């Protein structure tokens, strides 16, 4: 969840933001602060209670929290009126400066593939080492057999 201050944005600009987010299966909505505080009570969103002041829009992602941050910041680069107030990631409220750092992270898919590669590397090295050992043993047996047949 990314919290924004949309003050000064026109309806057309908000529509453009919604369209940009919708392309990535993300949502954006404007919330009434009193209702947001009531809805957030006793949930992980309650950590963001301090953000619900002034005009607040919320960008919501369902799979990859980094993607939401990237898309909102992408729009904010082209439209200075949209300001990021913070983000709620894994139940932790992040400040705007932290949000920019999060946007620099690779996507979830890239991180998962990096993790899979890290897990696979030792297995591949072990398989190569075992294969080399077996091959060396086979060559040694062949050499021993040749030596016996020559001397016998």
Percent over 70 (pLDDT), the chain: 97
Predicted local confidence at residue 49, as pLDDT: 84
pLDDT at 119 exceeding the cut of 90: no
The number of domains in the chain is 2
Spatial contact of 59 and 68, defined as CB atoms under 8 Å apart:
yes
How far apart are the C-alpha atoms of 132 and 23, rounded to whole Å?
A: 50
**Is 132 found in the same domain as 70?**
no
**Is 83 found in the same domain as 17?**
yes
Predicted local confidence at residue 111, as pLDDT: 73
β 83-89/27-31 pair status: unpaired
- Give the torsion through C-alpha atoms of 36, 94, 57, 65, to 10 deg: -100
**Is 19 found in the same domain as 54?**
yes
Give the domain extent around 114. Answer: 107-152
Residue 98 confidence class, pLDDT cut points 50, 70, 90: confident
Q: What's the CATH number where 66 sits?
A: 3.30.70.1730
Q: What is the pLDDT of residues 59-72, one digit of tens each?
A: 998 887 788 888 99
Give the number of other CB atoms < 10 A from CB of residue 103: 19
Predicted local confidence at residue 152, as pLDDT: 59
Mean pLDDT of 109-123: 76
pLDDT at 110 exceeding the cut of 80: no
Q: What is the pLDDT of residues 29-87, one digit of tens each?
A: 998 988 888 888 888 888 888 888 888 999 998 887 788 888 998 899 888 899 999 89
Question: Where does the chain show beta strands of DSSP type E?
Answer: 2-5, 27-31, 56-60, 83-89, 92-94
Predicted local confidence at residue 122, as pLDDT: 74
């Amino acid at each position: 969840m990314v919290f924004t201050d949309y003050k000064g944005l026109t309806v057309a600009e908000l529509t453009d933001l919604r369209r940009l987010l919708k392309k990535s299966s993300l949502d954006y909505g404007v919330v009434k602060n009193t209702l947001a505080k009531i809805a957030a009570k006793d949930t992980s969103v309650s950590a963001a209670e301090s953000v619900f002041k002034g005009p607040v829009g919320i960008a919501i992602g369902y799979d990859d929290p980094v993607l939401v941050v990237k898309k909102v910041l992408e729009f904010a680069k082209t439209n200075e009126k949209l300001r990021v107030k913070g983000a709620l990631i894994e139940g932790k409220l992040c400040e705007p400066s932290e949000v920019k750092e999060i946007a620099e992270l690779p996507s979830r898919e890239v991180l998962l593939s990096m993790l899979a590669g890290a897990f696979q590397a030792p297995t591949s090295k072990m398989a190569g080492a075992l294969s080399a050992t077996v091959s060396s043993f086979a060559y040694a047996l062949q050499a021993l057999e040749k030596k016996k047949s020559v001397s016998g």
